[in-house]
Structure 1
């Protein structure tokens, strides 16, 4: 959503391309504003109204003066990119991801309205409070950080003697990676960003395999805590790499639009 909406706002992608790209995540996308005053300002459905489709969201973003988006991936203990104790921050933190359009003062959070309804993804539009200055993490630094964190985590797990060696784990990791949707991207996004996003998915699959306690092989409470502490920097580096890769794509698309 961040990359495609930014491409559309800069005139480098058609609205139909954006809507087609979003269908990878859900057959139907619903849009509502978080509160009625914001709904009236953006001409979107309010929290109690019948939701609209994403085409109306795009029009509302342009009307609000948005030009580019930013990906935030908050977790407990790391809420960078959020706006303090607001409804947006609470919802984004519970979801673990959100799109921020700071120049328009808007935040978007995707949620499944009904866990049983896999085909629907709802985007709630929030008005942002006071935002912290945007952080910039160079792509090379993010990539290096992920590689370093992976080496350190592997070493720590080995030292703790809780690195797991179970049959079929490589196949599990490969299956997790291949199960991710095959995404389409706007023309002209940097290939390095795409490679880093792919690498982040692979590392995340390894992390989930490393934290999956099979029946009969559960760790003690102290070993579980030690493993969590060892892997936390790697989880953090995956999120940082994704944020950086998306930010670089948005930057390149904006520059491309300016040159045209």
Structure 2
């Protein structure tokens, strides 16, 4: 469910607070790629994390985790930026540009760095460490608020979704939806992850899969430009609600691990 940044943000926070072993953190990331490499966007980041600069032989994810603890990183911040909304990234700069290209990032505000994933090849994920150019306060969205927003957006978009229900024209649409959900990465989460957060994430993924089918349902470009625009406008609030629900569920999980007694010896 969700994305590599969500997984790394939760697991690294659990590990930093003694709620997960480092091997478990590394194993959990393999759902996104068998191999993970880490590089720095500039020499300052390379020196801080003791990793190579981009273009040199990369380090492993274990080196990155060790550096987080050495630097005294606090709880991670999971961000899902889109054009026009880059909250949590501290304004513009290379981090924001990279996060917008990727659509996700993990920010460690207390030490002034963020990391962005990029798929380099099948089975290979590269994480690039960027400095935060401007400090940005952590925005908190209550899980209940996000869940309510998801319910309201689904209800308000029901008419649009019904008009886009292709089950009447494409009998295999339910099987297609099941297949999309089956192909979704089955992410493991640390013991102690709030059940409600997982339920909200699951619901967001299911609605996201429906939206993906709705957006893809235009065989041969049959929709006129105006019809496609109306459809996009009708479904945009639901897209926003799904994004908010993912953001809130992951960051609530991080908050739970950060607020529990530190289990490190």
Q: Structure 1 length as normaliser, TM-score?
A: 0.93
The counterpart of 2:235, out of the listed 226, 231, 246, is 231
Map 1:153-232 onto structure 2 (within 5 A): 153-156=157-160, 161-165=163-167, 166-216=170-220, 218-232=222-236
Does the Cα contact within 8 Å between 1:162 and 1:223 map onto a contact in 2?
no
The whole-number CA distance in structure 1 between the counterparts of 2:160 and 2:179 is 26
Query: Which residue matches 2:257?
Result: 253
Q: Which runs of 5+ in 1 are unaligned?
A: none
Offset, 1:30: 0.4
Q: Which runs of 5+ in 2 are unaligned?
A: 1-7
Does the Cα contact within 8 Å between 1:32 and 1:46 map onto a contact in 2?
yes
Map 1:111-126 onto structure 2 (within 5 A): 111-113=118-120, 117-126=121-130
**Secondary structure in 2 aligned to 1:56?**
helix
Query: Which residue matches 1:37?
Result: 44
Offset, 1:88: 0.4
The whole-number CA distance in structure 2 between the counterparts of 1:234 and 1:150 is 6
Offset, 1:162: 5.0
Does the Cα contact within 8 Å between 1:154 and 1:163 map onto a contact in 2?
no
CA deviations 1:80-137 (Å, max 9, x no partner) are 2222220000010011001111111111100012xxx211000000110113321111
Q: Could you tell which deviates more after superposition, 37-46 or 103-112? A: 37-46
Cα distance change on mapping 1:30 and 1:259 into 2, 3 Å: closer
Does the Cα contact within 8 Å between 1:213 and 1:219 map onto a contact in 2?
no
Q: Structure 2 length as normaliser, TM-score?
A: 0.91
Q: RCO higher in 1 or 2 (8 Å CA, sep ≥ 6)?
A: 2
Map 1:75-86 onto structure 2 (within 5 A): 75-86=82-93
**Secondary structure in 1 aligned to 2:137?**
coil
The whole-number CA distance in structure 1 between the counterparts of 2:182 and 2:173 is 14
Query: Which residue matches 2:4?
Result: none
Offset, 1:214: 4.0
